[in-house]
Amino acid sequence: MSILIDEHTRLLIQGITGNQARFDVRYCLEYGTHIVAGVTPGRGGEEVEGVPVFNTVAAAMAATGANASAIYVPAHSVKDAVLEAVDAGIKMLLCLGENLPRHDASVAVSAARAAGAHMVGFNSNGLISPGKCKMGGIGGDSARVLYAPGRIGVCSRSGGMSAEICRTLGRSGLGASTCVSMGGDPIVGMRMLEVLRLFEADAETDACVIFGEPGGSHESEVAEAIASGELRKPVVALVAGAFQENYPPGISFGHIAAIIRGGNDSATAKRALLAQAGALVASSLEEIPGLLKAALADR
């Protein structure tokens, strides 16, 4: 199994006629993702990489049976694109735009939640269920090399580290059931704990790896869920960014959400919270496979 996407996902691309969308569509199609439609208002009737373009999401769904959408539009248009998708009945969305206006992000997330839709992003490079489907730019033209199929669920606040972690898993004989690059903006559709809850319920995911960084409460929420017994599968955590503790608070490094505002926002504090809760905290990529194998052997 996998979470969120699989070989039955029928994907449409909002903003398919843009340069980045065209680039990613080519590699997704080569990977085997079923991209059945694109949407760009006023460009209906065209094709991109053989994919038909429609003027609206509703028209695309009616013609192709699309059930998921990757949104490639400028930040100021993302809110309207999300609202159109959820109004049409899309239940799986990926939003790649970054640094959205906070009000727009809040409205979009609220609309998706109210509609019962899963939304990954903002500021995500995608998600992948190895061997089945990939959405977004994740893996580029090397997805089959970087992302081996397996039974480890991966959720990362960094798109680049998604690849690093999954490449490390694959080279050690493990692999990923699904890898979710959850996004680096302050407001995101699915929080880290929500992704891990799906992995917890997935019979073909045996353990999870998370990649965290300074700022926000994602990692502390995961720690609370582990401590309470809500998350029972082993969780290995790699939290980067301790260097940021040498700088004045309130400055972001990398992702805009990576800001230390309070005591529990630092990488050091998050590592301690996770370790105290029972997560296995890795100090490097190379430690992750060994921690996973030991935890799974104990089970």
Which domains does the chain possess? 10-298 (3.40.50.261)
Task: Write the pLDDT tens digit of every residue in 43-89.
Answer: 999 999 999 999 999 999 999 999 999 999 999 999 999 999 999 99
Confidence bin at 180 (pLDDT 50/70/90):
very high
Instruction: Decide if pLDDT at 1 tops 70.
Output: no
Beta-carbon contacts of 249 under 8 Å, excluding residues fewer than 6 positions away, are 259, 260, 261
> Are β-strands 280-282 and 133-136 bridged in parallel, bridged antiparallel, or unpaired?
unpaired
d(CA 155, CA 152) in angstroms, rounded, equals 10
- Say whether 255 is catalytic: yes
Please tell me the predicted confidence (pLDDT) of residue 68: 98
Choosing from 8, 34, 76, 255, which is the catalytic residue?
255
Share above pLDDT 70 across residues of the chain, in percent, rounded to a whole number: 100
User: 120 near 93, Cβ under 8 Å?
Assistant: yes
